[in-house]
């Protein structure tokens, strides 16, 4: 059943060496639901050293958490972990939700002490133990609950939801890096307006500083007229952190410790969206945005502006730009140095920028001879 992703090879190897081994967690859940499986976790009673000794090659990441990666030819590596606790049941008990706390043997036998299969049938998300214990011992599970609820389209059980409504402030105890990562996982599936309605009404979601605080965006996310997909990190963070006050945006970017590259792009998009809303875009604006940031800006504008902005118009305008990158210019810096030996090195960059602007504003065509002629006249 699992031959395609290498887990069977790993389980067979461990069993031959005399250990127990099972597929566990999300892969078991998704297999039962019939959802695509993207990674497989295996647990075993072998210790980390014993796991390592059983395979010719292992990748030592996560050893401090009792986990090791085992590469299998032709498939994704499989995460192999030693039981947390003494037995398989001990390990399963430490997992968050019943549907995530099932193990399966290679022959398809299920070890399901919390009736996860029943909850899958009823599409219910429920904690393995008393929700106040489960959420207190790792408050990130409050956000994991939301992620699984919307991704699996499950309802959170009444008791679990009631405790989440009480315990939501605990989320402040989670490391912001883990919260940010959880947000990025949440964004990997496109969410419906009902999903947004659910998320934005959840206290723990409202408790996250800086995220989705803009009133109009909140309203639009819930309204069926707007189905923009925030399925990449840049789109997600650009919309999530949008505020009128750029200083608050900067605080948010710092708070979630986002990478410099991502932060720079988010700030740039906000700036260009501001320009659009105030006075529309020039060709130069489209050019410096570039295709990816342009797409995200249009998503954001669609959430913010009164009238519907015709994205196709702006994408067509972008596609018709005479150049998309500096390298598309019909002259290079090297050629300019040859053509105008009297120019100082420091002037070249400035001249190229002037040519770039002139070509974008259709003052001159992107043609070597015309560019030289224009430069002679201009200087």
d(CA 272, CA 268): 6
Bridge partners, 97 (sequence order): 127
Residue 352 tokens, joined: 């190229």
- For residues 137-166, which are near ligand ATP according to CB under 6 A? 138, 140-141
Dihedral class, residue 156 (left if φ above 0, else alpha if ψ from -120 to 50, else beta): beta
Site string for Mg ion, 16-45 (x = CB under 5 A): ----------x------------x------
- For residues 39-98, which are near Mg ion according to CB under 5 A? 39
Least Å distance, CB 10 to ligand ATP, is 16
Provide the Cα torsion 152, 155, 161, 167; round to 10°. Answer: 10
Rg of the chain over Cα atoms, rounded to whole angstroms, equals 27
Closest among 148, 142, 136 to 161, alpha carbons compared:
142
Residue 39 or 49 having the CB closest to Mg ion = 39
Residue 14 tokens, joined: 């461990």
Residue 26 or 322 having the CB closest to Mg ion = 26
Least Å distance, CB 77 to Mg ion, is 13
**What φ, ψ does residue 124 adopt, rounded to 5°?**
-120, 135
Site string for ligand ATP, 57-96 (x = CB under 6 A): --------------------------------------xx
Q: What is the DSSP letter of 81?
A: E
Residue 363 tokens, joined: 């003052």
Nearest residue to ligand ATP, using CB?
26
Residue 39 or 361 having the CB closest to Mg ion = 39
Stretch that binds ligand ATP, among 133-141, 161-169, 204-212, 285-293 (CB under 6 A): 133-141
The answer to whether the CB of 84 falls within 8 A of the CB of 77 is no
Nearest residue to Mg ion, using CB?
26
Count Cα neighbours of 28 within 13 Å in the Cβ-side half-sphere: 27
**Partner touching 167 among Mg ion, ligand ATP, none, CB below 5 to 8 Å by kind:** none
Among 6, 8, 21, 25, binds ligand ATP (CB under 6 A): 25
Q: How many residues bind ligand ATP (CB under 6 A)?
A: 11
Least Å distance, CB 175 to ligand ATP, is 12
| HEC readout, 292-315 | HHHHHHHHHHHHHCCCCCCHHHHH
Least Å distance, CB 27 to Mg ion, is 7
**Partner touching 141 among Mg ion, ligand ATP, none, CB below 5 to 8 Å by kind:** ligand ATP
Q: Does 100 bind ligand ATP (CB under 6 A)?
A: yes
Closest among 42, 48, 43, 38 to 76, alpha carbons compared:
38
Site residues (CB under 5 A) for Mg ion? 26, 39
Site residues (CB under 6 A) for ligand ATP? 25-26, 39, 41, 95-96, 100-101, 138, 140-141
């Amino acid at each position: 059943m699992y031959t395609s992703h290498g887990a069977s090879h790993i389980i067979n190897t461990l069993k031959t060496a005399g250990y127990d081994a099972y597929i566990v967690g999300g892969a078991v859940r998704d297999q039962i639901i019939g959802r695509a499986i993207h990674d497989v976790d295996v647990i075993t009673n072998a210790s980390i050293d014993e796991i390592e000794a059983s395979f010719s090659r292992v990748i030592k990441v996560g050893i401090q958490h009792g986990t090791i990666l085992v590469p299998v030819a032709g498939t994704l590596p499989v995460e192999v972990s030693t039981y947390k606790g003494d037995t398989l049941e001990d390990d399963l008990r430490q997992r968050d939700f019943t549907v995530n706390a099932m193990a399966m043997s290679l022959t398809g036998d299920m070890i399901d002490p919390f009736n996860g299969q029943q909850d899958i049938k009823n599409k219910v998300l429920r904690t393995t133990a008393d929700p106040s214990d489960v959420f207190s011992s790792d408050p990130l599970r409050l956000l994991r609950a939301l992620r699984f609820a919307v991704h699996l389209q499950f309802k959170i059980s009444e008791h679990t939801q009631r405790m989440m409504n009480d315990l939501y402030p605990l989320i402040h105890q989670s490391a912001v890096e883990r919260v940010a990562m959880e947000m990025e996982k949440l964004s990997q599936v496109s969410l419906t307006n009902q999903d947004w309605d659910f998320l934005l009404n959840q206290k723990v979601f409202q408790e996250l500083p800086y995220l989705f605080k803009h009133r109009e965006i909140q309203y639009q996310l819930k309204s069926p007229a707007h189905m923009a997909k925030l399925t990449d990190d840049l789109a997600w963070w650009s919309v999530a952190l949008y505020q009128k006050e750029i200083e608050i945006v900067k605080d948010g970017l710092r708070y979630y410790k986002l990478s410099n590259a991502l932060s720079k792009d988010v700030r740039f998009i906000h700036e260009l969206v501001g320009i659009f809303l105030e006075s529309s875009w020039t060709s130069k604006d489209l050019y410096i945005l570039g295709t990816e940031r342009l797409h995200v800006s249009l998503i954001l504008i669609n959430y913010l502006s009164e009238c519907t902005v015709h994205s196709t118009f702006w994408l067509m305008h972008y596609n018709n730009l005479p150049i998309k990158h500096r390298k598309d210019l019909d002259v290079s810096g090297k050629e300019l140095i040859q053509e105008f030996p009297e120019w100082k090195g420091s002037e070249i960059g400035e001249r190229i920028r002037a040519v770039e602007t002139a070509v974008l504003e259709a003052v001159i065509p992107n043609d070597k001879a015309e560019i030289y002629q224009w430069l002679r006249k201009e200087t």
